[in-house]
Structure 1
Amino acid sequence: MRIGELVTALLYMRIYERRDLAEAHGAGRQDLVDFQVSGLAREYRDDLLETAAVLDALALCHGHGSYLPRPYQEDSDPVPRDVELRTDASDVASLLVDYDLQHGTGTTGGVPAALEDGCTEAERDAIRAYARGEWIASQERWPD
C-alpha cells in the first residue's frame, strides 16, 4: 500500500470517529459518548507509547549522551542529531508519563514524575526507561 493512501485512510477514519462522537452527543446518548471517548483515550495512550518507543529505539542506536536543556532556546548553532533524538524521545515519554499519572494507566508500576523545566539528564533517562518498560510489557501482553 502506498503511504499516501494510508495517510488518507487514517485521516478519514479519525474524521468519521469524531463525527460519530458529535452525533451521539447531540442525540443525548451519553453511554455511547462515554464508550467512544474511552476508546479514543486508549488509542491516544497507545499512540504515545508507540511513538515514545520508536524515538527511544532511534536514540539508543545513536548511543548515550546529553539532552537539550528544558526549556530549549533556539540559537544559530546546529543541534547534533543524536542529542535532538534523545531530547525528543524523553519529551514524548514525558507525555506518556503525564497521561499515566493522570489516568492510572501505567502497567509496570513506579511511574516517574513528568519532566519540568530545568530537569536533569537522569530524570530524562528515567522517563525513557519507563516508556521502554511499558512498551516491552505491552508487547508481552499481545504476542503476534
Structure 2
Amino acid sequence: MLYVVMGPPASGKTTWVRAHAKPEDIVIDLDALAVALSGPGTDDHGYGREVREVAYSARSAAINKALDRLPRMRGTDVYLIHSMPAAKHLARYRHHGAKLVTVDPGEAVVRQRVRALRGPGMDGVVTRWYRQQRASGTTPVSGAPSRDW
C-alpha cells in the first residue's frame, strides 16, 4: 500500500508516519533525505538550498523506484511525505492506489509550531498550504494535534 502523507509544515506528518510505519516499510521523507545528505550537525529543517536540490533529486529517484516495485511488494508499505503535491503527482499516486492522508492540527497550532521550531521563511509556506486547501475544499483527516509540542 502507498500512503501519501500531506499537510502544512510542522503539522505532524513525520510523527504520523512514525506511529503507523513498520520497520520493514519504506519511508520517503525529503527532510530526512536532506539531513542524511548534509554535513554533521545539520538540524532537521536547517539545510541549505544546494542540499535541498540534491534531496529533491534523491526523493524523486526513491519515489520512482518504490512505485515501480509497489505491485511486487508483499508486506511492505510505502509512506511518502509530500506536503503539497501538484495535481500531476496526485494523479500518479492515485494511479498506484494511494491512500491520501492529510495531517492538519489546525492553522493556529501550525503557526505556533512554525514560530517556535522553524525559520521565518516557513510562514509563507503555511499561508500557501492553507490557501490551497481552502481553494480545493479539502477536509483534513486529523483535526487534532499530532502530539504535545
Is the shorter-chain TM-score for this pair beyond 0.5, marking a shared fold?
no
- Report the TM-score, using the length of structure 1 for normalisation: 0.31
Larger Rg: 1
Higher helix fraction (1 or 2) = 1
- Report the TM-score, using the length of structure 2 for normalisation: 0.30
Higher strand fraction (1 or 2) = 2
| Higher RCO (CA < 8 A, seq sep 6+) | 2
